Chains A and B, each alone.
Chain A
Amino acid sequence: MISGNLVILTAFAYVVVLFGLAYFSDQRARRGRDGFLRSPLIYTLAISVYCTSWTFYGAVGSAANNGLEFLAVYIGPTLVFVGWWFGLRKLVRIGHAQRITSVADFISSRFGKSGAIAVLVTLIAVIAATPYIALQLKAITSSLRVMLASDAGSFATNIDDSTLALIIAAIMALFTILFGTRNVDANEQHHGVVAAIAFEAVVKLAALFAVGLFVVFGLGGGLAGTFERAAEAGVTFVSQSDFGGRWITITLLSAAAIVCLPRQFQITVVENADESHLRTASWAFPLYMLGMSIFTVPIAIMGKALITSGADPDMFVLTLPLSANQQILSLFAFIGGFSSATSMIIVSSIALSIMVSNHIVVPVALRSQGFNANARPEGVTRLLLTSRRVAIVTILFLGFAYFWLTNGSGALAIIGLISFTGVAQFLPAILAALFWRDATRQGALAGLLVGFAVWLYCLFLPAFAPGNPALSDWVANGLFGLAWLKPQALFGISGIDPLIHAVMWSLMGNSVALIGVSIATENDPVGRLQATRFVDVFRLGSSNQASYVRSSATLNDLFRVASRVLGYQRATQLFDQYEADRRDRQTIEPSPRFIAELESEMAGSIGAASAHVILSQVVSGDIDAIEEVIRMADETQQILEYSQRLENTTTELQSTAQQLRTANVQLRQLDQQKDEFLSQVSHEVRTPMTAIRSFSEILLAHKELPPAQRQQFVTTIHSESMRLTALLDEILDLSALERGESLWINANTDIGATLQRAIDVCTPIAQERGCRIVVDAIPHGQIVFGNADRLSQVFINLITNAIKYNDNADPFIRIETSEAEGQIAIDFEDNGPGVAPADRDIIFEKFSRGRSGGGTTEAGSGLGLAISREIIGRLDGKLELVSTEGSGACFRVTLPLRAEQQAAQ
């Protein structure tokens, strides 16, 4: 038998030890000797605040009733810590960068520092925490009842469960206030509390281990023995409904809870001292949970085997040692369970009270007419502390109310899952905050509202149904008797476990609303800014703070506000630092960067939304300063884009103008060429005309001229007329060639025969001038595709040119042919003056004649070479001037041979 007073005294003593530990740790931290408090081990142990009395007592009950289902609650967080480590790291990084104070602050900060979202998240968190706190109260009450059952003399035997729960709630509220609200920390880190929670983690693990070892080795005689003893008593472990939909749902819920539960967020993100601690926690925390669950099954089956049926399986951890009359062990087990419950209550209500004070009380106070932060000497510090204390009392009272209204009904595990489903509604918003830049404030708000509403309707309220006729009817028949509105069979989908049903509908509605509304709406500027800071936190780092452009406030104004939010000491420290750092000591206006730092610092105390509001009021009187700046930036961006387009258009126009200029230059050149051509034609026509006219006049005027002289003059007139006719013919010929008109018919032509004919024609002229024509070899049977007359024309032109312009004493012209690669080449080489280097490029131009070279003047149109080149070009051949060793010129005609052409085709 255990003395009831001993139990109660022990519990009190335990709480006093906890308080002392917290106080001692806070003192150490304040003196800067907080090294051990900032170790990854303490951090990991604090995270195990996840394991509450639900775990301590409830897991055994769950194992006894539902087989292995209790494991899902551990698997979810394990998956998150092991598999989603990077996601947690991002969460913690953002938490540090943005000085996040709570899960509500996190979500609202991401979605445009929205006050509405902060309030909604706070509301959901408080309501969702209520059953959870009720659960802890129930666990403490039940365990006290069990412990005191044998002592009729204890005070507790004369009061009912509700009163006992109320007393416990009141005591818990008092301790929480003492623990968590002695002061307002700059960044909401509670070293003392964390130390106490870590200590509690050790106590509860040790207690459970002690009971487990006793059950297995004391009662069961070893692990195998335990199962044998149970089997003898007709108890087998039934792992029913394993790995089904419910199992998956609970895994999902617990995975969400380890991130979304306000107390988990508080410990994992807000109280995190160093990001690297997560690395340790990622393996150590799952290990801790393994330790907490290892003896669950043995205790459950031994409890079923040894304890009379009808006893609460949730209390097997206590009743087993008690039944074996192990008083010290059962007292230790009681303290372990008590420790699980108190740690949860303390951290939860601290986290929730921060949210309530930061997101509901302070904003309301800031907006109310009567409150002016500058008018109150104590500032918001007092307000914060008072509101937090009131919030803690309220939250615990709500927990008690839930316990009272539900008559303590339902197993611990089921109550816990209601809470988990409630906080799981934060998950879509948190994931969107971390990874989806386009998620909007409206989307987050819509998702939270839908999820919250479905959860309330399908899971939270039905919990009150037993013992409430109106609610029972509603759960059975649907709201207003509408069958499709049945809370546990929405839209006629029935036959599903109520938990799966609620989780499915609430998270689906939540996500669909979040995504749908986000797509339909756009982020406002602050929302965009925050979205980038959250999603790209690893890329941006934490230095990228928003800045105020206009700072109409003086340093004095700012100091007044800051000292009231942060406390005089911290504010003085910050401003002294600023004074020491800044270069420009002339101005009294604070730099935008400093104001941003101040906002960040204040956000650590009162949340991002409130810090933003309070600073905007003093800084510029314009809350929308950032919006304004970003709107201006957007406009600038648009103007830049517009001018970019203009620039592109201008570039296009310039390019068109350039093309036009080029075309114009070409046209001018063509026009000039036309003028030159006309001028040259005029000259070429006028020259023979001059001779004809002049000699005609002479003949007319001088009848007395001797016949020989008359004959000579008439001959000149005749030849000049012929020259004139030939010139006009050639001009027309060349013009036709240049227009691409084929005035002749091509056929297979014997090149040798054609060349011979041309030589024959030229021989008399050559003889007349005393010029030899040397022919090395005339090709035989070589066929080219062309026109014999045209080819002779070219050859005759080349030969006569060579004869006409040759002023050598012993003039000759050598004609050579050669073949290579299906081409025949015919060279016309002379020993005349050659072509001056300056003329080489223009010798084939019309009327060029190579005048700069020799002094020999010869009649000719000056079109011969131009025509010849055109002809050869049209026969796919080439007419070119090639260099020679001798002094003279060498023209080469190259033509493709027909046989080769045919072979190629």
Chain B
Amino acid sequence: MVDILIVEDEPSILSSLEFILKHAGWTIESLTDGESALRRLEGALPRALVLDVMLPRRNGFEVLKEIRHNSRTAALPVLVLTAKGQQQDRRTAMELGASAFITKPYSNAEVVDAVRALLGHGSSPDASDASPGLN
């Protein structure tokens, strides 16, 4: 079981996310569009989802809505990332049931902290020695 599923279509951003989250000690899986993300969630669930909004083939909001409507995935912690950065987007994300919301460009520590908070009570095997960020 993977810890984190990343859905991001921008290659450079995806590689940065993969790098920092791996370095924080979590297992990672990546996808680049909304449709394949939903299909992936039919299988074994990750512990958390990092979701971009501007995605090809079903955007992040649609994906989030589906997740929350499906009882199997309803409790999945979801961190929403967006480059649009308007208040309306944040509100939409929260209404649709996002667990956390981060505007691009983000600081790496911000993302790691948010993911850790999502995984919070859940037992992360490497949580103790996972100390990414700017220490």
Contact = CB atoms under 8 A, between A and B. Distances in A.
Given A698-B108, A855-B56, A682 B9 contact: no
Nearest to B16: A694
A838 B83 CA distance: 25
Nearest to B33: A855
A857 B11 contact: yes
A691 B106 CA distance: 9
A683 interface: yes
A698 B56 contact: no
Interface string B1-32: 00000000111110111011001000000001
Interface string B75-89: 000000001111000
Please tell me the size bucket of the interface on A: 20 to 34
A691 B84 contact: no
A754 to B, nearest CB: 33
A690 B32 contact: no
Nearest to A854: B56
B69 interface: no
A617 interface: no
A855 to B, nearest CB: 5
B57 interface: yes
A689 B10 CA distance: 12
Contacts of B109: 697
Nearest to B9: A857
A843 to B, nearest CB: 15
A686 B105 contact: yes
A697 B107 contact: yes
A683 B132 CA distance: 27
A720 B15 CA distance: 13
Given A691-B10, A691-B13, A686 B32 contact: no
Contact of A687 (B10, B17, B20, B33): B10
Interface in B91-109: 103-109
Chain A at the B interface: SS class? helix
A682 B134 contact: no
A689 B132 CA distance: 21
B114 interface: no
A748 B32 CA distance: 47
B84 A720 contact: no
Contacts of A700: 134
B106 A690 contact: yes
B105 A698 contact: no
B133 interface: yes
A799 B10 CA distance: 22
Contact of A698 (B19, B54, B104): B19
Contacts of B104: 686-687, 689-690
Interface in A695-738: 695, 697-698, 700-702, 716, 720
Nearest to A702: B23
A552 interface: no
Contacts of B103: 686
A690 B83 contact: yes
Interface string B102-135: 0111111100000000000000000000001110
Contacts of A593: none
A851 interface: yes
Interface in A649-679: 679
Nearest to B23: A702
Contacts of A852: 56-57
Contact of B83 (A686, A697, A851): A686
A693 B107 contact: yes
Nearest to A680: B84
12 contacts: A682-B84, A690-B105, A693-B107, A697-B134, A698-B19, A698-B108, A701-B133, A702-B23, A716-B12, A720-B12, A855-B32, A857-B9
Interface of B: 9-13, 15-17, 19-20, 23, 32-33, 54, 56-57, 83-86, 103-109, 132-134
* 7 nearest A-B pairs in the assembled complex, by CB-CB distance: A691-B12, A694-B16, A686-B83, A690-B105, A690-B104, A693-B105, A683-B83
Given A687-B83, A694-B108, A701-B132, 18 more contacts: A679-B86, A682-B83, A682-B86, A686-B103, A688-B12, A690-B16, A690-B104, A691-B12, A693-B105, A694-B13, A697-B134, A698-B16, A698-B20, A701-B108, A701-B134, A702-B23, A855-B32, A857-B9
